[in-house]
Chains A and B, each alone.
Chain A
């Protein structure tokens, strides 16, 4: 059901040949395969790479997809897609149906053709075993840090109770790290689907799940809005599978079968096609404009986080970058080699990886707060690039300038402070501005370590209203509002300092 969001779903773009969908076509051996989209990073029991043959996937969503394909007289073909992109990807025709623990929400129903629910889950609270008696409900978690996966019903539930229950909500891009962070004490509870909680409890020792569910939700298949006819046929196939025990057999195989699921399938299988869909969980679908008005304060606050993070990280990058450049030029051979090694290591590996290592990898040694890890990760990464700019600029100051300073009796330090440094700064200004603007945008990467900044907030907003148009425009406008004044300031300084 989740993703680590490490890679954009580029794979989806490669498969720009959606199977033509025609409800009237006669199923036969020549029928095109049913292409279904899911995120194998979400793992078992939803969709995971088959350990026996990693080119294939397995999981209960895989089997539900195969059941549907069989009912349509077609074969099922899996298409990898990033979890958060399933809705957008199905609408642009990358695949016929998205099935990957996709939740039934009002926004999704308003924007896409959604099947009847095929599975009911419970949102449950996971806590450290010692806290089992303390944190029974959300109300017990006043002022505590509660984590969940961004863009889910659980996230919306937590946000809604943030004000009333005084919770501190921490959003994740994946469903593994909330539980490891819980075990390490970074969080006090995690609210997520019972399937995910049960799976995580097997992996992470020292955790327990509160028996009382916070709420229930349902998984659905999502199709492009224009594919309502196919959706209706799939609904009929799902109902049949509920009645004839096919789904029960699948759920039993994957160990997600219990009495409440039995009751749910009986209820749902007996429903008639004309019956109105049960009101799903979550806030009622509002008009995009009303939703936009509601989200603007959150977007502004997130823009503030982006700005503060960028400025602090740049300050750190400049300070460390200066140190590295000076060390490489003035320092001994060993120091220069050491610093050159640092620069190559940092420039040669992805900043995303560095953020993961800083935040999760080092957690056993030092438990950095998310913002501090983000600041350090971006700052130390950009320091490598800044140091190369400064080194180049320092080396570009002409020899006669330095010799003239020596003949005046200036010490090495005074030459650096009064002549070489100031001249290098003027040369470095343009590339520095460039890096500042790049950093402003790279700061969006820190959402992988739970810092909600402008891009993340926009993604949450877009998921909530089921469209990227308004959130995208607002987000772009905010980034421009942050970067344009900066470029102007830099241009003005450049003009003032220009060396003829």
Chain B
């Protein structure tokens, strides 16, 4: 199967600090890749580069129908193809606070892709339905629970049906039961043929949900492989540190 996303030799410095040092890995269709590593290892930065939110200094990011090169982030007018094939779910959802769930979901279809409002609405509603938040279409973000807000954010990112979905720390604000439900949802998305790239340091989640794990250490790949191989038999100190780490309990 061809690569949906191929990152090659990605480098990025912030001042004196090298955040990414020749990062290379790929994501295929029908695959959930967990991008793991401790804080500061470059997971989120890598996602932001793929979403063209951040400029990088060297390397390439290639998608099926477009690519990004080093240098300043291109203007939005030249990112149309990228926006069509990459969706992103932010760590704290970043739902538009002044819009209802369905308005969040239909914003891009209506205003960017010119879909008639009624059509966008009915598609948005069934998308929210399929993610289990069909009853919350007219709720504002402040009225949603953490799990509900995350599902609405996933629906918003999927509204124009991008083949690649990026997620940043999706389990950070979920309790274990919700985490199980999220895993189920994400597996369904993968089964539909999408590629998912999920930045996380949640080992349990990665073990259950991921097809492949890429462990980052200091801006490059420390090791990668199936969850069973990587987590049961870590070959790199970074992976061992990760297995030691337990996130603070949720409030």
Q: Which one, B76, B80, B96, B142, contacts A404 given CB within 8 A? A: B96
Interface status of B251 (Cβ within 8 A of chain A): no
Given contacts A407-B83, A407-B86, contact A419 B96 (CB under 8 A): yes
Q: Report A-chain residues with C-beta under 8 Å of the C-beta of B79.
A: 409
Interface status of A408 (Cβ within 8 A of chain B): yes
Q: Report A-chain residues with C-beta under 8 Å of the C-beta of B113.
A: 409
Interface status of B112 (Cβ within 8 A of chain A): yes
Interface status of A136 (Cβ within 8 A of chain B): no
Q: Mark A400-430, 1 if CB is under 8 A from B, else 0.
A: 1101111111111010001100110010000
Interface status of A163 (Cβ within 8 A of chain B): no
Q: Which one, A401, A407, A418, A500, contacts B111 given CB within 8 A? A: A418
User: Which residues of chain B from 68 to 82 have a CB within 8 Å of any chain A CB?
Assistant: 76-77, 79-80
Question: B76–A409 contact, CB under 8 A?
Answer: yes
Q: Mark B82-97, 1 if CB is under 8 A from A, else 0.
A: 0110111010101111
Question: B80–A408 contact, CB under 8 A?
Answer: no
Question: B108–A409 contact, CB under 8 A?
Answer: yes
A408 to chain B: closest residue by CB: B108
Interface status of A499 (Cβ within 8 A of chain B): yes
Q: Which one, A398, A408, A500, contacts B112 given CB within 8 A? A: A408
Question: B98–A499 contact, CB under 8 A?
Answer: yes
Q: Which one, B98, B107, B112, B156, contacts A423 given CB within 8 A? A: B98
Q: Which one, B90, B98, B143, B160, contacts A497 given CB within 8 A? A: B98
Interface status of B51 (Cβ within 8 A of chain A): yes
Q: Report B-chain residues with C-beta under 8 Å of the C-beta of A404.
A: 88, 90, 94-96, 156
Question: B53–A408 contact, CB under 8 A?
Answer: no
Q: Report A-chain residues with C-beta under 8 Å of the C-beta of B182.
A: none
Interface status of B157 (Cβ within 8 A of chain A): yes
Given contacts A406-B76, A410-B107, A418-B111, contact A401 B96 (CB under 8 A): yes
What separation, in Å, do the CA atoms of A500 and B97 have in the docked complex? 8
User: Which residues of chain A from 374 to 412 have a CB within 8 Å of any chain B CB?
Assistant: 398, 400-401, 403-412
Question: A409–B80 contact, CB under 8 A?
Answer: yes
Q: Report B-chain residues with C-beta under 8 Å of the C-beta of A398.
A: 94
Given contacts A408-B108, A414-B111, contact A500 B92 (CB under 8 A): no
Q: Report A-chain residues with C-beta under 8 Å of the C-beta of B87.
A: 407
B51 to chain A: closest residue by CB: A407
Tally of contact residues, A, Cβ under 8 A: 22
**A-B pairs with CB below 8 Å: how many?**
73
A494 to chain B, nearest CB (A): 13
Question: A422–B112 contact, CB under 8 A?
Answer: no
A156 to chain B, nearest CB (A): 56
Question: A403–B142 contact, CB under 8 A?
Answer: no
A490 to chain B, nearest CB (A): 17
Q: Report A-chain residues with C-beta under 8 Å of the C-beta of B83.
A: 407-409
What separation, in Å, do the CA atoms of A410 and B95 have in the docked complex? 14
What separation, in Å, do the CA atoms of A321 and B83 have in the docked complex? 33
Given contacts A414-B111, A423-B97, A499-B97, contact A408 B156 (CB under 8 A): yes
Q: Report A-chain residues with C-beta under 8 Å of the C-beta of B111.
A: 410, 414, 418
Question: A403–B53 contact, CB under 8 A?
Answer: yes
User: Which residues of chain A from 435 to 487 have a CB within 8 Å of any chain B CB?
Assistant: none
B220 to chain A, nearest CB (A): 25
Question: B94–A401 contact, CB under 8 A?
Answer: yes
Question: A407–B107 contact, CB under 8 A?
Answer: no
Q: Which one, B94, B98, B142, B157, contacts A422 given CB within 8 A? A: B98
Given contacts A403-B90, A500-B142, contact A410 B112 (CB under 8 A): yes
A460 to chain B, nearest CB (A): 48
Question: B92–A400 contact, CB under 8 A?
Answer: yes
B136 to chain A, nearest CB (A): 15
What separation, in Å, do the CA atoms of A9 and B92 have in the docked complex? 59
What separation, in Å, do the CA atoms of A400 and B90 have in the docked complex? 8
Q: Report B-chain residues with C-beta under 8 Å of the C-beta of A411.
A: 76-77
What separation, in Å, do the CA atoms of A423 and B97 have in the docked complex? 8
B108 to chain A: closest residue by CB: A408
B81 to chain A: closest residue by CB: A409
Question: B96–A407 contact, CB under 8 A?
Answer: no
Q: Report B-chain residues with C-beta under 8 Å of the C-beta of A405.
A: 96, 107
B153 to chain A: closest residue by CB: A404
Question: A499–B112 contact, CB under 8 A?
Answer: no
Q: Report A-chain residues with C-beta under 8 Å of the C-beta of B95.
A: 404
What separation, in Å, do the CA atoms of A404 and B87 have in the docked complex? 10
Given contacts A401-B94, A419-B96, contact A407 B76 (CB under 8 A): no
Among A398, A404, A411, chain B packs the most CB atoms within 10 A around the CB of A404
A404 to chain B: closest residue by CB: B94
Q: Report A-chain residues with C-beta under 8 Å of the C-beta of B52.
A: 406
Q: Which one, A406, A407, A497, contacts B157 given CB within 8 A? A: A407
B54 to chain A: closest residue by CB: A403
Q: Mark B40-53, 1 if CB is under 8 A from A, else 0.
A: 00000000000111
What separation, in Å, do the CA atoms of A500 and B159 have in the docked complex? 25
A51 to chain B, nearest CB (A): 64
Q: Mark B153-172, 1 if CB is under 8 A from A, else 0.
A: 00011011000000000000
Q: Report A-chain residues with C-beta under 8 Å of the C-beta of B97.
A: 401, 423, 499-500
A382 to chain B, nearest CB (A): 26
User: Which residues of chain B from 11 to 58 have a CB within 8 Å of any chain A CB?
Assistant: 51-53
B87 to chain A: closest residue by CB: A407
What separation, in Å, do the CA atoms of A192 and B181 have in the docked complex? 88
Q: Which one, B77, B88, B92, B143, contacts A407 given CB within 8 A? A: B88
Question: A414–B157 contact, CB under 8 A?
Answer: no
B51 to chain A, nearest CB (A): 5
Q: Report B-chain residues with C-beta under 8 Å of the C-beta of A403.
A: 51, 53, 90, 94
Instruction: Give B residues with C-beta under 8 Å from A.
Output: 51-53, 76-77, 79-80, 83-84, 86-88, 90, 92, 94-98, 107-108, 111-113, 140, 142-143, 156-157, 159-160
28 inter-chain pairs at a CB distance below 8 angstroms, sorted by A residue, are A400-B92, A400-B94, A403-B53, A404-B94, A404-B95, A405-B107, A406-B52, A407-B83, A407-B157, A408-B107, A408-B108, A408-B112, A409-B79, A409-B83, A409-B112, A409-B113, A410-B76, A410-B112, A412-B76, A414-B111, A418-B96, A418-B107, A423-B96, A423-B97, A497-B98, A499-B142, A500-B142, A500-B143
Given known contacts A408-B159, A410-B76, A419-B96, what 12 new A-B pairs fall within 8 Å (CB)? A401-B96, A404-B88, A406-B52, A409-B83, A411-B76, A414-B111, A418-B96, A418-B111, A419-B98, A423-B97, A426-B98, A499-B98
